[in-house]
Amino acid sequence: MAGAAILAAFVRPSLFRPPHRLVDASIVACLLVTGAQLIPLPLAVRAAISPAAAEVERQLLFDAGASTRPLSLDAASTLWALASGTAMALIFWSARSVFARGAGLRVVARWTAWFGLALAAVMFVQRAATPGLIYGFWTPMTRASHPTPLGPFVNRNDIATWLMLACPLVVGYLMARWSSRVARPGGRRNIETFVDSRALWLGMSACLMIAALLASLSRSGLFGAAVAVCVFALLARRRVSGRRLGWSLAAVGLAVAVATMYVNLDALAQRISDTLPSNLGGRLAVWRETWPMARDFPLTGIGVGAFERGMLVYQQSTRLIFFNHAHNEYLQVLVEGGWLLAAPAAIAIVVGWWGVRARLGSDRTPMFWVRVGAASGLAAVAAQSLWDTGLRMPASAVLFAIVAAAALHDDPAPDIF
């Protein structure tokens, strides 16, 4: 949060300017709705706005008889959510402004490749040497009896979210470099044009990130990765012929084939085959017990970040496994913020995607490919969010904000590469 504030102070991002006015307004509206959930209200007013709140709090609190109370059932968590959301918005706005000014996106793409390469290496070494310890030293704080952290991530779906954002961005940057070299005066299409030291480590990073994603055994991650490949192919058709697109997809297939050398394919196949018999990995039970909460708090929700406290009342199944999030990002937004939060969030998604398509249509620079990679990563997370809430992890949320800025920033100067 401090870093986001310092970055915004140096960058001084511009807001509410065409063509980003509606996206920015939607983000600000989401923050204002979250902040409004913290305002203490007289009990009569609160009961009129959120009739079910008083009954739920009688089951949660020893003393629920205060004269004023906020709409949120967990004001402390909502305050943290507001601070985190503001930080992510500042990162998005700052990154968007920096990328529109010049070569900042190249630096970000390279560092993302380095971080992805390091993350995959740490994950594989850690799994082989100390599978139950983070970085080989620390026991993760989790309710699982036999935790198996993957690098710094405790949950396999969380590392999948980060990898789904990073890998398409790196692949897009690699294709942008190739496109830039071919487009130069006198540029030739030979092996020296496409293979140099930087291209090799970018390709290695992409392969290892794909391998880490497959090795995580995250079903939602695999679903999101498949969506990312499809979206990348559909958007790439704007710039390449069918033959070149076929070669590009073949290269992706080769990278996946190389990545499978690091993966236990039998375990992966078992995870996939267990999806339907286990009711989508237990998601159906979570969704069934979450929906009554959304039905009882339709307008204002229970408070952003208050899902875990609300489930103390609404979870009716066994408490051997406690539902601390909805396993569906869209359902969680509806439960925690009601329609007052879901509406501007939906507008931000729709208008944001429309803006990405507009930027792709107008971009005539090699940066087009970085935009395609960023858009594919966003689509992957949107698909994964049907099954999980990976963006609650700060590392993934920060990268999501940066990738969204990469997809939406204004057209840079044509000589950016």
Q: What is the DSSP secondary-structure string of 195-218?
A: -SHHHHHHHHHHHHHHHHHHHTT-
Whether 262 contacts 407, CB under 8 Å: no
Residue 54 CB-density burial (10 A; 0-12 exposed, 13-18 middle, 19+ buried): middle
Tokens of 409: 């920033």
**H or E, element range at 379:** helix 367-384
Q: Residue 61: helix, strand or coil by DSSP?
A: coil
**H or E, element range at 42:** strand 41-42
Q: What is the DSSP secondary-structure string of 71-111?
A: S-S-HHHHHHHHHHHHHHHHHHHHHHHHHHHSTHHHHHHHH
Could you give the angle at the alpha carbon of 190 between the alpha carbons of 184 and 193, nearest 5°? 50
Q: Residue 223: helix, strand or coil by DSSP?
A: helix
Nearest Cα to 172, choosing from 399, 368, 417?
368
Q: What pLDDT score was predicted for residue 245?
A: 64
**H or E, element range at 342:** helix 329-362
Residue 251 exposure: Cα atoms within 13 Å on the Cβ side: 15
pLDDT in tens, the chain (417 residues): 999 999 999 999 989 988 899 999 999 999 999 999 999 999 899 999 999 988 888 888 877 667 889 999 999 999 999 999 999 999 999 999 999 887 689 999 999 999 999 999 999 888 888 888 888 888 888 766 677 888 899 888 999 999 999 999 999 998 888 777 665 555 555 555 567 778 888 888 998 899 899 888 888 888 999 999 999 988 888 777 666 666 666 766 766 776 676 666 666 666 666 655 555 657 888 899 999 999 999 999 999 999 999 999 998 887 777 888 899 999 999 999 999 999 999 999 999 999 999 988 888 888 889 999 999 999 999 999 998 888 999 999 999 999 999 999 986 554 444
Q: What is the DSSP secondary-structure string of 246-284?
A: HHHHHHHHHHHHHHGGGS-HHHHHHHHHTTTTTTTTTHH
Tokens of 10: 């140096």
Cis bond before residue 19 (omega within 30° of 0): yes
Q: pTM here? A: 0.89
* Cα(135)–Cα(123) distance, integer angstroms: 8
Q: What is the DSSP secondary-structure string of 231-246?
A: HHHHHHTTTS-HHHHH
Q: What pLDDT score was predicted for residue 66?
A: 73
Q: Residue 1: helix, strand or coil by DSSP?
A: coil
Q: What pLDDT score was predicted for residue 14?
A: 86
Tokens of 334: 């509806």
Whether 294 contacts 253, CB under 8 Å: no
Q: How many CB atoms are closer than 10 A to CB 387?
A: 21
Nearest Cα to 268, choosing from 193, 217, 320?
217
Whether 166 contacts 371, CB under 8 Å: no
Q: What pLDDT score was predicted for residue 186?
A: 53
Phi and psi (nearest 5°) for 370?
A: -65, -40
**H or E, element range at 129:** helix 104-129
Phi and psi (nearest 5°) for 412?
A: -80, 175
